Structure 1
Amino acid sequence: MAHRVMRDEEQDGWERSDFPIVCETCLGPNPYVRMQRISYGAECHISGRPYTVFRWRPGNDARYKKTIICQEVAKAKNVCQVCLLDLDYNLPVQARDSALGVEDEVLPESDVGKEYALAKMQADGTLTADSSFAKAKANDAILRMQRTTPYYKRNRAPICSFFVRGECKRGAECPYRHEMPTTGELAEQNIKDRYYGVNDPVARKMLSRVDAMPKLEPPEDSTITTLYVGGLAAGVAEGDLRDQFYPYGEIRSIRILEARHCAFVTFNDRSAAERAADELQNKLIVRGQRAKLCWGRPQERRPDAPAAAAPPPSMMPAQVAMQAGYNAAPPPFMPPPGPNFFNLPRPGVPPAYPSMDPLQAGTRVPAPGTEPEATKRRAPDAGEPGPLGAEKRLRQGEPGGGPPPFAAQPPIAAPQ
């Protein structure tokens, strides 16, 4: 840094900023943070350029935090100036680059190469807030590793070295933590290795944990084309699920159970269901909330469950009831309660006219080869008294076959 003091700071590209580029975890839960701003207060640990240093305390029980790299270097990798983790997914650079498939380095490791790369990025306008890493599409591995909520436990105060040696006399008034330090691979981290994404123990642990996670295997039964979607928010409509699943194939039905906050999406083809399961596993987001996706299972009938009862014949049409083997006549029509405006027959009351009887309105179907009772005409008997018997005797030429004679009436006397 000494060789830069005699040079013009405006032409040398020294950084001047009013606010740091930090993640939500390093900023802390308090929205009102008092920061110390020091222009050209330190040298960047990556590029070696002087930059504006910010120092603040993210909480009452937290340690003071300070930016350790300049903003140009932070924009080149889209990382925080304090913890060097990705700003979008809160992941180490090595884990993010492995998930996205990034192989080339943004900044070289040599001093001359870093100066040339930073100057070229500034001339091309590449060092902006919209980084290429932020525009990359999140895949399954990143969605499994990312942390969606701030992890404020990372801001805790450092461990008291006097307590480790057994010589701390402050007790509860000590601003440092009275804990024994943890040793191991995670405790040995280098700033440059974390920034360049090489030999990072935290990233290796995350990647190994992702590889050990189980994958969504399709069931052996090829007739299953239903996917179960769980953890849905209240008010999710059928259109929200259709927008997520329709690119993978034709959907047969979508059934939403609002009480259980889940849904069942059924495809017409098994191949479409497998494509949807592979693409949307661990990254299905419906209305801003991540949902669980797994294969549906066929409903198995319980051995003690009763068989489904057939509908009663009274609920079937007359033709269907006759074909099903029911010979009983359907019950009479039950008019709705209230005033009888249309003179419909009442239960238990014979109708005034035969045409008002619903049993005679074609609801009975005669058996094949038989004549309905209503169409049969009975032949009159000759010995039967009455008009029918007289008609029979008249046809046969028998006496008394004519109409019955009128009774003799006494003559009406003329008035005197």
Structure 2
Amino acid sequence: MSEIDEFPAVCERCCGPDKHIKMIRQPFGEECKLCTRPFTVFRWNTRDSGNKSKKTIICQTCARSKNCCQSCMLDIAYLIPLELRDAALKMAGIDNTLAIEQGSSSNREVKAIMADKMESRLKKEDESENCAKARDILTKLAEKLNATESKLNKKSNLNKKSETSDIKNVDVSKILSKLPFGGLLKEPSDPSVTSFFIFGINADVPQYTISDYCHKFGKTKNMTIVHNAKCGFISFTSRKSAESFAQAIRNNGLNKDNKKAGLLLLDNKYPVRVTWGNLKPLGRTNEEHKKIGLVVLKVLKQLAEKK
């Protein structure tokens, strides 16, 4: 194989914006997918293809006969599928027998002979009324396909932006609105409530530290701690255990003000806030958790400044 500057018959989608990319040429490297004759294979990489190289799969004679790209086999001028192009030309009554005849035989030698005849005919073919008519039809067809593709891409981008916007704003706002940041340690009137909302949990707070403290007051049936969100929920199996837990926090000497969430110092070094609250969802994605965590930090600052 050798490195060359020569450029095969490939379209812009396959070669990319750079028309002077380096290619590797392999003479008689493979059989043409259409006429089965050995042909010179070209391989290359574009800026967008990464480590995966592209190559030609049909010979230049077949590409010229079908006026298509040697790599993707789209019409080289209008970038539309050959089946669609040929169907449009057939409906318009324009002769397209060359391509049909070439693919009608399964005999390798017959295909090769037809390809040679095709090349000879293409060299002698001049401009005609049919050629002008075909160009007009294909131009309109390409414009419609491009317009449709453009609309689909715009719709897809709008949907992605909408989904991202929902995650960043609406969904997180709904989650935050249900979290009891303004709750207290006063026992709720509903005796079935046995859970607490705990927030201000930094990444360095081990979950076992929280669970060890809670188990002093009774058995827990649920403990959900999301460190990225800096908060979580703790639920006891009995109301008595929950009330003992709340009473211990009220009497720990750190909560002279009963008008805000109780302050608890875990393991004598991890300050957190605790309030009664029913279990609520804390989001599913890292983006949601991080946004909740930012709000938690703001609430902690407000509580620290509140007298």
- So what's the TM-score if we normalise by structure 1? 0.28
Task: Identify the structure with the greater helix proportion.
Answer: 2
Question: Greater Rg, structure 1 or structure 2?
Answer: 1
Q: Which has the higher contact order (CA 8 A, sep 6+)?
A: 2
